Each structure stands twice: as C-alpha cells, then as structure tokens.
C-alpha cells in the first residue's frame, strides 16, 4: 500500500490516492505520513475523511503531528480537536512545545480546556493522566431498551461503549453492565437488577503500572477511574493499558541495563539525551570500581610474586558477574510480574543456593579441566600449578554462590524498602560481586600458595 | 476477602462461604484456591456456581488444576470442560502430564477432541495455538436485526461478541462488523453494506509475537486467524495478546540476562530447572574469558614490572562492559518494539559514536582526577604516575567508544542474520569488550610506559 500511495503522491494523483487511503487503517496511514516529504504532508493529510484523519493524527509521530499543527488554520485545528478523544489530546499536548500547546488550548472549547487542565494536574504516570473522560453512563432504574437508546444517542463519540457505567445523581459509581449482558437480557429488564455491583476500580492517583496489572489480572476491556469519594471521573481502556505495560517493560529494561529511563524512542533521542541518561550510572559504577582496585593494590606484593594469578581475574569477575545478574534479572522480572513477593525471600534464597551449588560445581570442574589442559598443557604455562588451578576453581564455586545469593536478595530487599528493584540489576550486582570475588580469590590464594 | 474466606473454610461455614464467593472475581478466587489446604481444595471448588467455577479454573496455577482434575469424577470433569473456551482447554492440556491429558480428551465430546488435536498440531507459539475457535459469524445478506438475533442465540458461549465475522458459504472471511456499528445502524441495514472489508488477519502459522504486535499497532479487541485459503478458523482476543506480550518480554529479559528462556514461573521452577537454564551460558562465557586470560598472560612480563596496572583492570573492564550493555540493551529493546530496523544501522552507529565521545570524555576526565587525587595523593601510591593515569584514561575513553559501537551494531546484525538480538546483550558484549579493552590497555601502556 505504502509504495502505491507514495507513487500516487509523486504523480500528484490525489483523487486516486483518496480512494486508496479511505479503505486503509489509521495506523498504516500514519506510517505512510511518516515517509512523505514534509512539504507534501499537509496536502496528503487533508485528503483523508474527517474521522479517519483524526484517528490517523493520533497514531502519528509527535514530530509529524507538530508539523501538521503548524500548517493547520485555527478552523482546521478545531475540527481535528473536536474529533479526538480527550486522552489522546492530552497525550499530544504532553509531547508538544509550549507554543503549540497554547494554540491547542485556545482552539478547544471551554469545557474541554477545563478537562485538559484537570488531567494535566494529576501526578505523572497516574491513572488520571491515561484515562479518558468519554464513557457511557446509565442510571439504575433504566430498562435495557432505554439503555440501548442512550448508548445509540451518546455512544458515537465514546472510546468504548461495551462497558457501561451505572452512576447515581452525584456521579457515584454503582455498578457496571456490559453490552453483552444487555444483548443477552430481555428488553424490559431493569439495569439495577442485571448490573454487576462487584466493581473493580482504580483511583485517579493510582500508579499506571498498578492499573495495567489490574488489566492483566482481570482481562478487562476498560477499568473505571474514581476520585476519593468514589465518583466516576473516567475510564482507562485496554489499549492504553497495553501501552503502559510496554512502557513499564522498557523502563525496567533500561534501568536493568544501567541507564536512567527515558520516555523518548531511540531514534527520537538525540546523542545528548542518550549521554544524559547513561553517564550517571557509568560514573557511579566507575567510582565504585575503586574498591576493586584497592583490593588488588592491597595484594600487589603477593601478585608480584604470582603474576599468573592476574590472568584469571577477568574470568572470575565475569563469571561472578554473570551468575549474579542471572539471579537478579530473574527475580526483578518475577517481582515486576507479581509472581514473587518479599515474603518469599527465604524460599527464593534457598532455591538460589541449591542452583548456585549445582552451577558452581559444574563450573569448577570445567574450569579445573580447562586450566590444566589448555593453560598448562596446551599453552605450556608451567606457572599454572595444580595449586593455582585449585585456587581458581574454589574461588569460582564460592563466587557463584555469593553472587547468586546477593543477586536474588538485593532486588527483594530494595523493593521492600520502596526502591525500584530494577536498579539492583547487572551493573550494580557486578560491582559488588567483583569486589567479593577478588577478596575470596586472594584469601584462598594466601592460604594455599604463600 | 481472602482472610475472610480462609476463616470461613476453617470454621467449615460453607453456606456463608458460597454467598461470599459468588460475588467475587474469578481471578481473586483463584488466588484464594492457591492458598487453601490441598484437602479442602475440592470442597471449596465445588461450592462455586458452574460458570464462575469454570472461569476460576482457568485462572488457577497448573499444580492446583491438576490436583482438582485428579479429584473430579468423570461427570464433573465433563461439566467443567463444557464450560471452558477451547483455547483455555488447550492451555491447560499443554501444562498437564500425559495421564491427565488422556482423561481430559476422553471426557471431551468428539468435535471438541478433534479441534483440540488440530490446535495441538500448530507449531509452538503460533497464532493457531493461542486462538479460540468460538466466535460469532454472520452472513453478508443478514439485516442488523437478524444479526442481533444470531448474536443473542449463539453469543452466550463466545469469548467475545463485540467483533462479528462475516463469512461466505465456504467459511472465507469477507468482512468484520462490530457490535458498535450494529448498535449505531438502523435495524434494516444489510450487513454486507456496513461491514468493514479491509480486514487485518493473521495466519494460523504466524508467530504469536507478530500477532501481539498487530494488537499494539491497531488496538484491536480481537484479530481473526485464517488458514492458507483465507478461511476463518479462529480469533485471538486482546487478553491473550497481552499475555503474549508479557511472555515475550520475559523471554527477552531472560536471554539478555544470559539465560535460556523458561516457560515456568520462578516459584514453580525447581532449582534444577534454574540450573539447566543458566549453566550453558555460564560455561560458554567462562570458556570465552580464556581469551582475556591469554591476553593478560601475553603481557605478563610487562605486568610484572608495572604491577600497578593490574589494579585498574577491573575498573576498565567494568566500565567497558557497562557502556556496551547500555547500548546493546537499548537497541535490543528498540528492535523488539519495532522502533529501529536494520536499515537504520548507519544512523544508530553514528548516534552511538557521538554519545560515546561525550561519555568517554567525561569518564576520562573523572577517572584522571580520581586516579591522581584518590589513588596517588590520598592513598599515597607513588607507583601511580601521571603516565599511568594517562594510560588508564585514554584506555577508558577508547574502550567506551568501542563498547558502544559493538553494543549497538551486534544486535542489529544478529537480527538481520535471523538470530535473536537479545542474545547479544550484556554477558556476550562484556566478554568481547573485556578482551578489546585489555588489548587497548596494554597497547597504550607499551607506547607510553615502556
């Protein structure tokens, strides 16, 4: 489709283009609009039918949205804003520079403007910021037939009509009734009798991650958002929850990779953005590697006698680091999926100890064979005595044990203390394990070799 | 709720318990059933109303499901199976030991058994294995009123009724019509005129990750699954797509953490399971650390003269590893979200080079200050000359540059070659970067110090 469309644009065959595009999905047209030349962008966009144009606008990259808004007349802007769901408008506003935001607010009607400002005041990443305020509300004394009438009358500009919310006069949430229930009930039934009163809702200030977890747990289409007095203020739909899940996953992965999380996609981030998110951890970890250096300096005289020991430092450090990060990454993920809680600590540590013993034994044996066969026989390094090999292998096994215990327990403790467990991933664990493995290494070396 | 219920169970107040549970969500009851004693499990389960019992069954842990199935009579088992959606039955079968599977198949009716066997034959992790075959199908010449009749008649045991599929006599998929469209259309409209014929569908053999990406892109409630002749065979609903997204994220994270991915949750995995998934990478990485060791051995004589150089090896290796894993993790995530493609390689490398220059400069300066102030002045280590500091800092800057370029390009190349880019994460990159950083270190040391 995209090649076709680009060709039509080049040949300026806009009538054919219009025919082609009106059958397409908004998401696909947004991809196309990301590829047309900047000068052609407003022309192609204006070809789209009004509703499709609004849907496409939401799917576009923020840079492209900004270009378009700047090319719009006030009337055009107003028309697009009228078509947008409020949560989408808020998403767009959050990405735009101040000048553009001003124009958007100026061209929204008073009520929308008030709602936007309200939503913008909710804390970052709270349910309030991702909710939409367009939902279908019903009254408890309506019949099913009346409910359908209301859905038909008010449903056209709602993001979902399939979950309907039953509220009282002061907008307090009484229950939920799905269109499925409505369809499968007789038309004379009273809403109050068929609505589900066991409503799971979230508060406006609840974290979006918590909201997304409710979706995973209950397979909702939408979840109602209430204020502190249980008054319905909006709903979060499953597609927004899906976005949140992906955002939170990205954040976890970034933090585990030793970066401060960023909200921009990779290609939209400048080199300086990347630098800003990466340098703090690099500096911190570099400085903390001082301790490892100090340990080595402390054993410098011993090392001068047995330089051969130096050759095994990278292998020991890497294996320790890898063992630790395996455990920490596994536990961080399990914590974030809610599979493991702090109360499982003893169970987790015990499981990791048994795993570590198995891994440690296999690694130690493999390492012993490797050192004796490759380093001593094959490479003919006679400094590598059986004692050296023993020191290396015992250190290996102990390091794996320590690494796994630290790797699994630090994230759980961090979570208990209210920190993000993802911070306790590889880079952090590696630094700690490095220091410990060197201490063990030189300690055992002293015992066996000097 | 859970404490209450457990108390009622202990006091054997089953009537009150029944009243409490029938108002609760299946997901919550499943949590409760995970906590009751094994002997009480069948009793409590039998209290649940039939439909809720089936919903709850789906949400339970496989161990608990197995316990229950073993306690069921054939008649009870048949009743539960009748209530389950086919995709859920298949999920359960996949987790059960052979004996239980046999009993499940024996107690399913012939048609279900045939469908189950068909689904079990689709390749692992394909759309066919996660789809449900229960959907609402309509004909193109029906009116809206007739469509509603059909939904009312056939919808009660369908997983979703909101997307209806229009098929011809040979089950070929012609279009989709949503209940929303039906509700907002007049009752005399003909389905063929209001259905959306621009249908996005997936094939039975498409990878589940691809299917999930379609959901993210198009915000679907459900996506139709067709065979090679465009015949509708099932649908995948958004809640299954959400599960797939989380599974794939977990898999990526596990691979990035240097493990082979596991399908079991942490607490369900035995220590031996964990061992099995972790030891291959540990062994591989340990052996590849041989090269780092060989490099050090090659410079052993030089190190014997300047033992002070040894103290900086961990810091250089760690900083290099961290810089590399920052880049690789970022790119792996961007690849998996579809934000970056192989054609962006040049752009990505150029961005990483600029980032690396900034990070490298800041780190080098910080490192120089740290080495001169802490190591030389504070700790009074006179071996740390300004030349040594220079060697360390130049190595640091160069290592960061190399690490970031390798870290960003290897995952992209891996993906291009058809490998999982996540394999190219921290542990793998670290090993490569370690070797390079040592070569650079000793190379520069030779130039400046000897």
Q: Which of B24, B135, B273, B314 to mutate to test the interface with A (most CBs of A within 10 A)?
A: B314
Task: Confirm or reject contact between B336 and chain A (CB < 8 A).
Answer: no
Same fold, B2-121 and B136-255: no
Q: What is the pLDDT of residue B409?
A: 92
Residues from chain B contacting residue A271 (CB–CB below 8 Å): 351-352, 354-355, 358
Interface of A with B in 383-442 (CB under 8 A): 396, 400, 426-427, 430-431, 434, 438
Using only the alpha carbons of chain B, give its radius of gyration. Answer: 30
Report residue A202 as tokens: 């979230």
Domain B136-255 has CATH 3.10.580.10: yes
Tell me which chain A residues have a C-beta less than 8 angstroms from the C-beta of B380.
Answer: none
Of A101-110, A306-315, B31-40, B178-187, which has the strongest mean pLDDT? Answer: B178-187
Residue of A nearest to B274 (CA): A355
Question: Which of A238-247, A281-290, B134-143, B430-439 is the least confident region?
Answer: A281-290
Convert A309-341 to b/e letters by CB count within 10 Å (16 or more is b).
bbbbbbbbbbbbbbbbbbbbbbbbbbbbeeebe
The residue count of chain A comes to: 450
**Domain chopping of chain B, boundaries:** 2-121, 136-255, 271-449
Within 13 A of B105's CA, how many CA atoms are on the CB side? 16
**Which positions 136-195 of B are in contact with A (Cβ < 8 Å)?**
148, 151-152, 155-156, 161-162, 179-180, 183-184
Q: Please give the Cα distance from B356 to B126 (Å, whole number).
A: 40
Is B253–A256 a contact, with Cβ atoms under 8 angstroms apart?
Answer: yes
Say whether A218 and B27 touch across the interface (CB within 8 A).
yes
Interface check for B311 against chain A (CB to CB < 8 A): the answer is: yes
Contacts of A358 in chain B (CB under 8 A): 271-272, 275, 279
Which residue from B156, B184, B340 is facing A184, i.e. has the nearest CB?
A: B156
Q: Nearest to residue A317, comparing CAs of A407, A424, A392?
A: A392
- Encode pLDDT of B67-99 as tens digits: 888 888 888 888 888 888 888 888 888 888 888
Chain B CA closest to residue A60: B217
Partner residue facing B253 (CB), from A221, A333, A339: A333
CB–CB contact B370 A290 (8 Å): yes
Task: Nearest by CB to B265, from A219, A269, A339: name it.
Answer: A339
- Cβ neighbors of A72 (< 8 A, separation 6 or more) are A42, A80
Are A33 and A41 a contacting pair, CB within 8 Å? yes
Q: Which of B258, B329, B430 is facing A253, going by the closest CB pair?
A: B329
Chain B residue with the nearest C-alpha to that of A198: B23
Which pLDDT value is given to residue A432? 86
**Rounded CA gap, A199 and A203, in Å?**
13
Q: Which two tokens stand for residue B82?
A: 């009748």
Q: In what order do the strands lie in the sheet with B202-203?
A: B202-203, B222-226, B232-237
The CATH number fitting domain B271-449, selected from 3.30.390.10, 1.10.357.20, 1.20.58.1610, 3.10.180.10: 1.10.357.20
| Percent of chain B whose predicted confidence (pLDDT) is above 70 | 100
Whether A208 contacts chain B with CB within 8 A: no
Q: Best of A322, A373, A401 to disrupt the B interface by mutation (most B CBs within 10 Å)?
A: A322
Cβ of A197: how many Cβ atoms within 10 Å?
12
Measured between CA atoms, the residue of chain A closest to residue B183 is: A152
Interchain proximity A307–B304, CB inside 8 Å: yes
DSSP H helical segments within B339-385, as ranges?
A: 345-370
- pLDDT tens track of chain A, all 450 residues? 888 888 888 888 888 888 888 888 888 898 888 888 888 888 888 888 888 888 888 888 888 888 888 888 888 888 888 888 888 888 888 888 888 888 888 888 888 888 888 888 888 888 988 888 889 999 999 999 999 999 988 888 788 889 999 999 888 999 999 999 999 898 899 999 999 988 899 999 999 989 998 888 888 889 999 988 888 989 999 888 888 888 888 888 888 888 888 878 888 888 888 888 888 888 888 888 878 888 888 887 777 777 788 888 888 888 888 898 889 989 988 888 888 889 999 999 999 999 999 999 999 999 999 888 887 888 777 778 888 899 999 999 999 999 999 999 999 998 999 888 887 776 778 888 888 888 999 888 888 876
Structure-token pair, residue A449: 């070799």
Nearest Cα to Cα of residue A196 among A246, A140, A254: A140
pLDDT, chain B, mean: 87
Shortest alpha-carbon distance between residue A105 and chain B (Å): 27
A373 touches chain B (CB under 8 A): no
**Minimal Cα–Cα distance from A346 to chain B, Å?**
12
| pLDDT at residue number B309 | 85
Q: Per-residue confidence at B426, pLDDT binned at 50, 70, 90? A: low
Nearest CA-CA partner of B300 in A438, A10, A305: A305
Query: Which residues of chain B neighbour A355 with C-beta distances below 8 Å?
Result: 271, 274-275, 278
Spatial distance between the Cα atoms of B333 and A154, rounded to a whole number of angstroms: 41
Alpha-helical regions (H) of B135-190: 144-154, 179-184
CATH 1.10.10.10, applies to A2-121? no
Give the position of tokens 């059986």: A386
Mean pLDDT of B262-277: 85
Tell me the mean pLDDT in the region B216-239.
Answer: 89
Q: How far apart are CA B320 and CA A130, in angstroms?
A: 39
Give the span between the Cα atoms of B313 and A289, in whole angstroms: 10
Q: Does any CB of chain A come closer than 8 Å to the CB of residue B250? A: yes
Residues in chain B with CB shorter than 8 Å from the CB of A311 are 293-294, 296-297, 300
Q: Which residue of chain A has the CA closest to B61?
A: A339
- Residue A309's closest CA among A363, A411, A389, A255? A389
Chain A contact set for B344 (CB, 8 A): 267
- Residue B130 and residue B222 in contact, taking contact as beta carbons nearer than 8 Å: no
pLDDT digit string, tens, across residues B294-316: 888 888 777 777 778 888 888 88
Name the band, by pLDDT with cuts 50, 70 and 90, for residue B265. confident
Contact residues on chain A for B427, CB-CB shorter than 8 A: 318, 322, 325
Please name the member of A253, A265, A317 whose beta carbon is closest to the beta carbon of B317.
A317
Q: How far is CA B67 from the centre of its chain?
A: 28
- Chain A residues whose beta carbon lies within 8 Å of the beta carbon of residue B148: 183
- Measure CA A33 to chain center: 26
Q: Show residues of chain A in contact with B162, CB under 8 Å.
A: 162, 179-180
Q: The tokens 């204020």 sit on which residue? A: A227
Rounded Cα distance between A212 and A208, Å, is 6
Cα B50 from Cα B45, distance rounded (Å): 10
Across the interface, do A267 and B293 touch by the CB < 8 Å criterion?
A: no
The greatest distance separating any two alpha carbons of chain A, rounded to the nearest whole angstrom, comes to 94
Residue of A nearest to B182 (CA): A152
Nearest in space to A289 (alpha carbons), one of B248, B241, B320, B213:
B320
Q: Which chain B residues have a beta carbon less than 8 Å from that of A155?
A: 180, 183-184
This model of the complex carries an ipTM of 0.79
Question: Using CB atoms, which residue from A24, A218, A370 is nearest to B25?
Answer: A218
pTM of the predicted structure, to 2 decimals: 0.79
- Among B161, B238, B351, the residue with its CB nearest the CB of A274 is B351
Give me the residue label for tokens 């469509």.
B147
Nearest-CA distance B169 → chain A (Å): 25
Across the interface, whether the CB atoms of A257 and B326 are under 8 A apart is answered: yes
3-class DSSP state for residue A417?
coil
Distance CA B199, CA B175 (A): 6
Strand ranges (DSSP E) for A84-209?
136-138, 163-167, 173-178, 202-203
């Amino acid at each position: 489709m995209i090649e076709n469309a680009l060709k039509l644009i080049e040949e300026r065959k806009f009538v054919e283009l219009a025919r082609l595009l009106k059958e397409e999905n908004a998401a696909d047209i947004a991809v196309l609009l990301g590829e047309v030349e900047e000068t052609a962008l407003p022309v192609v966009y204006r070809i789209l039918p009004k509703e499709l144009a609004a849907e496409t606008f939401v799917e576009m990259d923020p840079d492209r949205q900004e270009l378009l808004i700047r090319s719009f007349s006030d009337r055009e802007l107003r028309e697009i804003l009228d078509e947008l769901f409020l949560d989408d408008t808020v998403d767009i506003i959050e990405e735009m520079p101040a000048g553009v935001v001003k124009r958007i607010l100026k061209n929204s009607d008073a009520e929308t403007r008030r709602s936007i400002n309200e939503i913008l005041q909710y804390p970052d990443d709270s349910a309030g910021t991702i909710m939409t305020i367009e939902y279908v509300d019903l009254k408890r004394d309506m019949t099913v037939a009346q409910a359908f009438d209301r859905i038909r009358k008010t449903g056209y500009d709602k993001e979902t009509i399939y979950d309907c919310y039953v509220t009282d006069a002061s907008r307090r949430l009484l229950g939920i009734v799905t269109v499925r229930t409505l369809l499968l009930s007789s038309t004379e039934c009273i809403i109050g009798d068929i609505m589900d009163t066991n409503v799971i809702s979230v508060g406006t200030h609840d974290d979006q991650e918590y909201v997304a977890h409710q979706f995973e747990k209950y397979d909702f289409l939408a979840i109602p958002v209430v204020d502190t007095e249980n008054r319905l203020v909006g709903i979060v739909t499953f597609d927004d929850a899906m976005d949140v899940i992906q955002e939170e996953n990205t954040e976890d992965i970034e933090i585990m990779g030793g970066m401060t999380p960023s909200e921009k996609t990779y290609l939209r981030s400048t080199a300086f953005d990347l630098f800003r998110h990466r340098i703090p951890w690099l500096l911190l970890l570099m400085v903390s590697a001082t301790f490892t250096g100090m340990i080595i300096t402390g054993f410098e005289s011993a090392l001068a006698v047995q330089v051969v020991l130096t050759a095994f430092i990278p292998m020991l450090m890497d294996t320790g680091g890898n063992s630790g990060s395996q455990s920490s990454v596994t536990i961080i993920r399990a914590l974030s999926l809610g599979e493991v809680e702090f109360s499982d600590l003893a169970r987790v540590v015990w499981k990791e100890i048994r795993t570590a013993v198995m891994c440690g034994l296999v690694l130690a044996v493999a390492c012993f064979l490797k050192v004796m066969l490759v380093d001593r026989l094959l490479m003919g390094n006679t400094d590598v005595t059986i004692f050296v090999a023993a020191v290396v292998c015992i250190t290996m096994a102990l390091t794996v044990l320590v690494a796994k215990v630290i790797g699994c327990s630090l994230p759980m403790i961090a979570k208990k203390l209210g920190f993000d467990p993802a911070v306790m991933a590889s880079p952090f664990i590696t630094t700690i394990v490095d220091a410990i493995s060197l201490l063990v290494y030189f300690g055992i070396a002293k015992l066996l070799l000097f």
